[in-house]
Amino acid sequence: MRRLAALLVLWAVGTGAIYEWGGAAARGVRELKKGNHREAIEALRKGKTELPRSAAVRYDEGLAYRGLGLSDSALAAYRDAAGTPSLEGDRARSAAAFNMGNEAMRGDDFGGAVRQYRQSLRFDPTRVDAKKNLEEALRRARSEKQRRQGGGGGKGPQSEGKGNPEPGGGTNQQGIPPQPQQQGGAPQRTDQGRAPQLGNAIPGRADAEHWLDALESERRASKMRDERGEEKAEGQRDW
């Protein structure tokens, strides 16, 4: 597997909500911040019964599983947080979809990554990191398609990521989740890996959808150019 050396694959960590009244969920967050992942999981399981409609509790549970290296369990918790319509907390759901996109990128599943980053942006259109990673996932999907059409020769996609990181940021090249931080009731990006700013303006939902539509139009145009001079190979993946 190619190392994602330059891609800003960030683990969105932090508590999904401030559990003001305390209880098992708040206790689980405290254990998570201390790095006591097993204790956090036990408390957060109880927290789900106390806060049955909270996406944040399931997101925090996913962080705890990830801290133990249990990727499958973490993904199941993220899927629960992002994919259950009855749950509340769009920012926690956005963070869960974002983390699933990162897992897909690590497995070279660029189509899956595109879907997850788009879902993350639908929940929270202000996420600059999700926009940057979506752009990279689309670029890698096109590069992979071109490589396969060329008979498998050539090198993998070139590294990017020379943007100016946010203050205090860096690039988390290994995708390892740092300790969570509880701030203001919303999932926070890790201080150890932040995406470059894509301009100063923070777009609204309409701007984000327009941005996604533009990327989709560019993808279709690229596909038409690719198919103009040659037939698509039998069984080739269509992004």
Q: Name the residue range of residue 78's domain.
A: 12-152+178-227
Q: How many Cβ atoms sit within 10 Å of the Cβ of residue 69?
A: 10
For 54, list phi and psi in degrees, rounded to 5: -90, 115
The burial class, CB within 10 Å (0-12 / 13-18 / 19+), for 66 is buried
**Residue 235, domain member (yes or no):** no
d(CA 36, CA 39): 6
Distance CA 206, CA 203 (A): 8
* Per-residue pLDDT tens listing for the chain (239 residues): 444 434 444 444 444 455 555 789 999 999 999 999 999 999 999 999 999 999 999 999 999 999 999 999 999 999 999 999 999 999 999 999 999 999 999 999 999 999 999 999 999 999 999 999 999 999 999 998 888 887 654 444 333 333 333 333 333 333 333 333 333 334 443 333 333 333 333 344 454 455 555 555 555 655 555 555 444 433 333 33
Is 7 domain-assigned?
Answer: no
User: How many structural domains are present in the chain?
Assistant: 1
Which CATH number is 53's domain given?
1.25.40.10
Whether residue 236 is contained in a domain is answered as no
Contact 120, 130 (CB under 8 A): yes
pTM of the model: 0.58
Exposure string of 21-40, with b = 16+ CB inside 10 Å and e = fewer, is eeebbbbbbebbeeebbebb
Could you tell me if residue 239 is inside a domain?
Answer: no
Instruction: Provide φ and ψ at 199, rounded to 5°.
Output: 110, 170
Look at residue 164 and tell me if it is in a domain: no
Q: What is the pLDDT of residue 85?
A: 93
DSSP-derived letter for residue 154 is: S
> Does residue 233 form part of some domain?
no
Which residues share a beta bridge with 57? Answer: none
Distance of alpha carbon 116 from alpha carbon 56, whole angstroms: 18
